[in-house]
Amino acid sequence: MPQIVFLPHDELCPDGAVVEAEAGESICDVALRHDIEIEHACEKSCACTTCHVVVREGYYSMEPADDLEEDMLDKAWGLEPESRLSCQALVGDTDLVVEIPKYTVNQVSERH
């Protein structure tokens, strides 16, 4: 069973986290299942960029982003070559190291 290492994020997981994932599960679903409350304003429908992550290790083990995801990623804050929308990035059979960016383009966050 692959693992995802979430790098420390000041608000969502200050100490970072190492969690188990199921192959075929989205990074977003894995994070939420492990109480890492990553934003997902569009309810995981690939219609926003609030769940943007950077896959620091294991990026090429996942299926590539489709055209819709690529178009949405163009709008993400802090876009990098290994950026993905966590709602669309499905875990393969390889461990991943994921960074959740400090900011999103969501102007109205419901997080307190």
Per-residue model confidence as pLDDT tens digits over 77-100: 899 999 999 999 999 999 999 999
Percent of the chain whose predicted confidence (pLDDT) is above 70: 94
State how beta strands 3-6 and 96-99 pair. Answer: parallel
Task: Look at residue 106 in the predicted model and tell me its pLDDT.
Answer: 66
Percent of the chain with pLDDT over 90: 89
CA-to-CA separations, 28 to 4, 78, in angstroms, rounded:
11, 18
Distance between CA atoms of 2 and 11, rounded to whole angstroms? Answer: 25
Mean pLDDT for all residues in the chain: 93
Q: What is the pLDDT of residues 24-48, one digit of tens each?
A: 999 999 999 999 999 999 999 999 9
What sign results for the dihedral spanned by CA atoms 41, 74, 90, 101? negative
Mean pLDDT, rounded, for 56-78:
96
Looking at residue 109, its pLDDT comes to 46
- Rounded to two decimals, the pTM is 0.92
Q: Could you tell me the domains of the chain?
A: 3-99 (3.10.20.30)
Structure tokens, 26? 């989205």
